[in-house]
Amino acid sequence: MKTLLDRRAFLRGTAGALGLGGLLPIAGLLEKMPLRQAGVDPLRAAMMNDGLVVSWGAQGKLAAEQMGRWLGVEIEWFDGNLDLNQQRANMREIAERDWDFVAVQPGSIGTLVESTEELTRRDIPVVDMDTLIAPFPLLQEIGILTFITPDNVQMAESVVQALVDKMGGEGKIAHTWGRQGHTGAQGRAQGFYNVIQRYPNIEVVDDQPGDWNVEMTTEIWEVLLNRHPDLKAGFLHNDDMALAARRVVERHGMQDRVVLGGVDAMIPAIQAVGEGRLLATARNSSPRVHGWAVLAGYYAATMGLEQARLDIPPMIVADGTLITLDVQSDPELVNEPWKIRGYGRNNLDSFIWAEQQLVF
């Protein structure tokens, strides 16, 4: 049977050819894992996120499946459909079957604990994506392999600060949550409050969940703008909701008075930033959260849970960056742009390109 090139030999050979054998520490998961032989049955994994109706979730599925193709993992997808009861039913079905690994994003903390315990009792590796299945102490007790997440507080703080700066530190702002039981939404809300509490002249006139739901958000913002025609800004917990709010703002003819920010930096949101329809968004990398989950699960299934627990940290942070149209410039550094943040350029196209490749 023909086998694929041994990854470790290839990487070591590359390092030697570059003269970096003693300087380049190749000790990552990819270096340690054996490549699967041609003709060998793929690994089988179950994956589920909060819902494919959310653009972030749909992109995550694409990224996970791409990583699966590279590694030889056949993924069966279970759509949470933004419905906690559907998620529970999906997870019960997952727990009744055998898998090489499982990766899930719960819609709300505490909803999938029992089924997750059924899987970990059978030594099936489980990766928690984006939202905590349970509080950290219980998560470790259950035996979750790792929790992969963005820094929700940091992302929210960066977007809200951009909004506050644009408001001049005063006026009315609205805050539209995701689902309140979602730990990422709780983190984004905390980031919002962290910034707002420093500005006594800013009034929060609306503070309620939109449940990641575009229709619900549209209804919230229709009422909101009728009640507060002097609204200056809005922070929404994801881009789908932010763009829905923008459509309402435009219908009310308030697009020159209300600035909006979201989270996720999906491609339509980055384009909206470039067009001035959104002031800011922050990248919550769905490809990193979902793709890294497949990588971690594959490693555990290939190398064993005991080794995986030694090599994979219990929490992995997928970094995110603020994306705005602001460009730093300095005429004295025109010939040395590498000394300016972002090279003094509008780099939105680069973010879009990287996201299209499912690496950002």
Q: What is the mean pLDDT of residues 307-327?
A: 93
DSSP bridge partners of 236: 176
**DSSP conformation class of 163:** H
Contacts of 179 (CB under 8 A, 6+ apart): 50, 107, 108, 185, 209, 211, 212
Cα distance between the two ends of the chain: 37
List of domains in the chain: 1-38 (no CATH), 41-149+286-317 (3.40.50.2300), 152-282 (3.40.50.2300), 327-356 (no CATH)
Residue with tokens 């059924």: 118
Sheet with 259-261, strands from edge to edge, namely: 202-209, 171-177, 231-236, 259-261, 280-282, 322-324
Long-range pairs for 204-209 at CB < 8 Å and ≥24 separation? 204/172, 204/173, 204/174, 204/175, 205/172, 205/173, 205/174, 205/231, 206/174, 206/175, 206/176, 207/174, 207/175, 207/177, 208/175, 208/176, 208/177, 209/176, 209/177, 209/178, 209/179, 209/180, 209/185
Residue 107 pLDDT more than 80? yes
Determine phi and psi for 322, rounding to 5 degrees. -75, 135
Above pLDDT 90, what percent of the chain? 82
Would you state the pLDDT for residue 36? Answer: 64
Would you state the pLDDT for residue 7? Answer: 45
Cα(174)–Cα(207) distance, integer angstroms? 6
The single-letter code of the amino acid at 214 is V
Residue 17 pLDDT more than 80? no
Would you state the pLDDT for residue 326? Answer: 87
Would you state the pLDDT for residue 3? Answer: 41
Would you state the pLDDT for residue 35? Answer: 65
Cα(81)–Cα(213) distance, integer angstroms? 11
Q: Does residue 140 contact residue 117 with C-beta atoms inside 8 Å?
A: no
Cα(42)–Cα(71) distance, integer angstroms? 9
Cα(224)–Cα(150) distance, integer angstroms? 30
Would you state the pLDDT for residue 322? Answer: 96
Exposure b/e, 130-142, CB count within 10 A at least 16 = b: bbbbbeeeebeeb
The widest CA-to-CA distance across the chain, in whole angstroms, is 72
pLDDT in tens, 183-238: 999 999 999 999 999 999 999 999 999 999 999 999 999 999 999 999 999 999 99
pLDDT in tens, 29-86: 777 776 666 667 899 999 999 999 999 999 999 999 999 999 999 999 999 999 999 9
pLDDT in tens, 328-349: 888 888 889 889 888 888 899 9
Residues in the chain: 360
- Give whole-number Cα distances, 219 to 179, 222, 246, 268, in Å: 16, 5, 12, 21
Determine phi and psi for 164, rounding to 5 degrees. -60, -40
Q: What is the mean pLDDT of residues 297-319?
A: 96
Q: Which two tokens stand for residue 170?
A: 């005063």
Cα(296)–Cα(50) distance, integer angstroms? 20
pLDDT in tens, 117-135: 999 999 999 999 999 999 9
Cα(346)–Cα(24) distance, integer angstroms? 33
Would you state the pLDDT for residue 148? Answer: 98
Would you state the pLDDT for residue 341? Answer: 80
pLDDT in tens, 256-284: 999 999 999 999 999 999 999 999 999 99
Q: How confident is the model at residue 90 (pLDDT cuts 50, 70, 90)?
A: very high
Long-range pairs for 58-61 at CB < 8 Å and ≥24 separation? 59/266, 59/286, 59/287, 59/355, 59/358, 60/105, 60/129, 60/286, 60/287, 60/289, 60/290, 61/290
Would you state the pLDDT for residue 327? Answer: 82
Residue 209 parent element (H or E)? strand 202-209
pLDDT in tens, 140-193: 999 999 999 999 999 999 999 999 999 999 999 999 999 999 999 999 999 999
Among 88, 52, 40, 47, CA closest to 65: 47
Residue 16 pLDDT more than 50? no
